[in-house]
Amino acid sequence: MRSGFRLLVIILIIMFISSCRESKKIDGIYRYYWGKKGGYDIWVVDGYKVRDRIYNSFLYGGNEQRYPFNPKGEVWIDNAVSCEEFVLTLDHELNERHLMAKFGWTYDRSHDSSLRIEISMRRNFNLVCRAHEAALPKVSATDFSGKKEIAGIPDSISLQNIYRVPLGERNGVAVWIVDGYQVRAHIFPDFGFSGNDLVYHFIPRGEIWIDGQISGEETEYSLATELTERTLMLKGVPFSAAYDAAVTRMALLRTRMDSLIRTHKPLILPDTITRDSGIVDPREP
């Protein structure tokens, strides 16, 4: 009789613990796996859900030192962050996490240090972009079909205050984040999320442009679309067919990302939501 009672108590305790754990389970947070940087997995997360269900002051990004709900080994970027701000936010979070883990710095001190890094990066980006524009030849404000969308615009124009952030090269093609508003206002109103030099004559040879107003979550999808489209057009595939193939590839990438997200470990909400001082990790380089 006693053994049966003990068994019942154990079962009830297990059920209670399981229900408590289940109540702290948060679904639907992860949106896009960006890759690794500095040994950390970089995830774009649903910032609205984080604010709604975990911590209402979550902004731009997070790391495990500041937010115990942020799993170890991961850096989070809010999907509300624009692609123009993405690389700045990422470097901010990596630096903040490092200072808290290496030296036990407070969050405020580490955060301020990361803001200074952002300022330096922004100034450098501006210098690089203005120098790039100064070295470019004039371009035509037309698309591949010769269409010009702004009446009275000169046949050749100089690009000024268009470039915002250099993203390096992909497959030998230079990738730039640009001011999409300025492109639409002064060059080509139908410029969308992104474009490449074979579709738009105002994009210099060997370049892909990403509109700075799109979200960081969409950046890689737009880039994959442009790379596919451009590769096919280089092989002589007409624009319409190349575009359709690129959109099909983007849809496949989204499906693959959904599958990857489903394999991620469930996020369990800890008792502590924020941390004001770092926990020193002796393994931190």
Ramachandran angles phi, psi of 159, nearest 5°: -85, 120
- pLDDT score, position 7: 52
User: What pLDDT, in 10s, does the model give residues 151-166?
Assistant: 999 999 999 999 999 9
Is pLDDT above 80 for 21?
no
User: What pLDDT, in 10s, does the model give residues 199-231?
Assistant: 999 999 999 999 999 999 999 999 999 999 999
Residues in contact with 163: Cβ distance below 8 Å, sequence separation at least 6, in sequence order? 129, 130, 132, 133, 176, 177, 178, 179
Mean pLDDT of 85-114: 98
Give residue for tokens 């989070």.
Answer: 76
Nearest to 242 by CA among 233, 252, 251: 233
* Residue spans per domain, the chain: 27-135, 137-260
Neighbours of 176 (CB within 10 A): 21
Is pLDDT above 70 for 61?
yes
**Through-space distance between the first and last CA atoms of the chain, rounded to whole angstroms:** 58
Amino acid at 201: H
| CA-based R_g, the chain, Å | 24
Give residue for tokens 């950390």.
Answer: 40
Q: Whole-structure pTM over 0.85, yes or no?
A: yes
Give dist(CA 154, CA 148) in Å, integer: 10
Give dist(CA 155, CA 139) in Å, integer: 8
Nearest to 202 by CA among 166, 218, 178, 235: 178
SS3 of 25-58: the string is: EECCCEEEEEEEECCEEEEEECHHHHHHHCCCCC
Ramachandran angles phi, psi of 150, nearest 5°: -115, 115
